[in-house]
Amino acid sequence: MPTPAVSDPAAGPVVLDAPRRAQAMARAGLLAERLAAAGVTMVALSWVDNAGIARAKTIPLGRLERAAGWGIGMSPVFDVFLVNDSITTSPHIGGPGGDLRLVPDLDRLAVLAGQPGWAWAPVSRYTQEGRVYAGCQRSFARRMAAEARDRGLKLRMAFEVEWALGAEAGGADGAGGAAGADSGFRPACSGPAYGMTRVVELSDYGREVVGALEREGLTVEQFHPEYAAGQLEVSVGTSDPVGAADDSVLVRETIRAVSARHGYRASFAPSVVAGSVGNGGHVHLSVWRDGQNLLAGGPGRHGLTAEGEAFAGGIFERLPALTAVGAPSVASYLRLVPSHWAGVFQCWGRENREAALRLVTGSAGEQDARANVEIKCFDLAANPYLVTGTLIAAGLAGLEAGATLPPEIDGDPAGLSSAEITDRGPLRLPQTLADASDCLERDAVLRSAMGEPLAEAFLAVRRGEAETFAGASPEEIVEQTRWRW
């Protein structure tokens, strides 16, 4: 039986002390009055577990004040839940013992535009003694963002959100491609990839998705049809690392709610139909110092500064281990196929959509504001807080080491000859969840950043899912995971 990470009262300082509780409760009381005036009666408090599932407890609005000060109880065992809700264990976390407090972040409290009468807030998790819980993924992301700030860096991030929109009953006849052959998914539209036809077919739905996100305070940069049958994508504005992860959760749950109200079902799974293009969860990241974008205006390749290249180089070096975090499901490896714009090779290039690390420079005249790196091998089965935290840890390690980027690849690495691959070095990223997990287990930098309780619980979930689906066909994997994210 593991020793719960929540049981040591000496682990870390008391964060939720009496003055802080009183302040939070007073603020929550005022917010509750405003929410009541807006028609809210219920509040969803959510966190994301190591399987990438958004879990939740909900409270009547009248309990918000109490929750802000004292939290809501929840077992730590959810950190070793697998994607199918079976439970594994780890050296520090697991078993029936222990309890945590789910404390809502009042700064992110939002009225849910897709669920009338509801508000939402992400939670951070604390021990019963008022200390930060060692397995809290959101607290990990917050700590890594603070480390970057302590070094004079400001990070901006955003997650792209792709989803496949399915009809609950009946629906399109699969004219968009192979999806029609899978009885488990019937696309809600039949237009071609990126086609205006899909915009017309889903005109009311698309307008309501964007409108709901904007009413929740998010900046929607674009909404468009994607490649696979029934597939859509929305991009929102950048935020700080923790805020970007919060936004990713809010965007998906809003899309899910609007879809349900229209009689549709949204899947954010990496693979929705076996053998077809899956859903990505690409992450865009820029790093700034004293108001300067370190990925632009420098003397390096494509305007990279030395610090910007070092930060990107740190991410590049750790891409195999980061894949376990950003592509953490068995289904993820059904999506990671060469020549499908999934970024399956450890290479980089300016505007190269086949590279795992794409440098986006922006158009002439806006590079200072727009330059960023995009990590393309990630998907939405990932816990976004772990993604942001580990990306920062990798980038900071690159800065410390003065990392540089290798020669860039300007085309599809899959088309290179064996001699060119040997000479230019674009290695294939892990092709199975087990291999990616091994890479993460060997990466001392990322494990140290996460801390052993969190790292061990995360790896236990990865190993448990790899074992659960060992020997399963792609169709079986998809059937069992399609609607989990």
CATH classification at residue 36 = 3.10.20.70
Residue whose entry in the numeric block shows the structure tokens 């958004």 = 54
pLDDT tens for 423-465 read: 777 789 999 999 999 999 999 999 999 999 999 999 999 999 9
In this predicted structure, what is the pLDDT of residue 183? 53
Tell me: do 105 and 210 sit in the same domain: no
Average pLDDT over residues 121-135: 97
Q: Which of 133, 166, 190 is the last residue of a domain?
A: 133
Q: Which residue has the higher pLDDT, 427 or 284?
A: 284
Q: Which of 133, 164, 191 is the last residue of a domain?
A: 133
**Burial readout 137-160 (b: 16 or more C-beta within 10 A, e: otherwise):** bbbbbbbbbeebeeeebbbbbbbb
Look at residue 411 and tell me whether its pLDDT is greater than 70. yes
In this predicted structure, what is the pLDDT of residue 10? 45
Tell me: do 415 and 280 sit in the same domain: yes
**Spatial contact of 240 and 156, defined as CB atoms under 8 Å apart:** yes
Look at residue 422 and tell me whether its pLDDT is greater than 90. no
In this predicted structure, what is the pLDDT of residue 11? 61
Q: Which of 133, 166, 193 is the last residue of a domain?
A: 133
Tell me: do 105 and 212 sit in the same domain: no
Q: Tell me if 140 is assigned to some domain.
A: no
Tell me: do 224 and 305 sit in the same domain: yes
Average pLDDT over residues 105-133: 97
Look at residue 263 and tell me whether its pLDDT is greater than 80. yes
Look at residue 171 and tell me whether its pLDDT is greater than 60. no
Average pLDDT over residues 58-83: 97
In this predicted structure, what is the pLDDT of residue 442? 98
CA distance 280 to 65: 38
Tell me: do 170 and 23 sit in the same domain: no
In this predicted structure, what is the pLDDT of residue 325? 98
**Spatial contact of 386 and 140, defined as CB atoms under 8 Å apart:** yes
Extract the tokens encoding 423. 């000479």
In this predicted structure, what is the pLDDT of residue 298? 96
Q: Tell me if 12 is assigned to some domain.
A: no
Average pLDDT over residues 71-75: 96
**Spatial contact of 413 and 421, defined as CB atoms under 8 Å apart:** yes
Tell me: do 186 and 70 sit in the same domain: no
Q: Tell me if 148 is assigned to some domain.
A: no
CATH of the domain at 477: 3.30.590.10
What total of structural domains would you count in the chain? 2
In this predicted structure, what is the pLDDT of residue 184? 84
CB under 8 Å to 428, separation ≥6 — which residues?
338, 344, 345, 346
- Confidence (pTM): 0.94
Tell me: do 369 and 457 sit in the same domain: yes
Look up the domain containing 111 and give its range.
18-133
CB under 8 Å to 459, separation ≥6 — which residues?
90, 437, 440, 441
Tell me: do 247 and 176 sit in the same domain: yes
Average confidence score pLDDT of the chain: 93
Tell me: do 160 and 129 sit in the same domain: no
pLDDT tens for 174-229 read: 333 333 344 589 999 998 999 999 999 999 999 999 999 999 999 999 999 999 99
Bridge partners of 102? Answer: 72, 125
In this predicted structure, what is the pLDDT of residue 362? 86
Tell me: do 65 and 175 sit in the same domain: no
Tell me: do 161 and 41 sit in the same domain: no
Average pLDDT over residues 77-91: 96
Instruction: Look at 40-44, 223-227, 365-369, 439-443 and tell me which has the smallest mean pLDDT.
Output: 365-369
Q: Identity (one letter) of the amino acid at 321?
A: A
In this predicted structure, what is the pLDDT of residue 2? 52
Q: Tell me if 395 is assigned to some domain.
A: yes
Average pLDDT over residues 81-106: 95
Q: Which residue has the higher pLDDT, 386 or 182?
A: 386
Average pLDDT over residues 50-75: 97
Look at residue 170 and tell me whether its pLDDT is greater than 90. no
Look at residue 6 and tell me whether its pLDDT is greater than 70. no
Tell me: do 267 and 404 sit in the same domain: yes
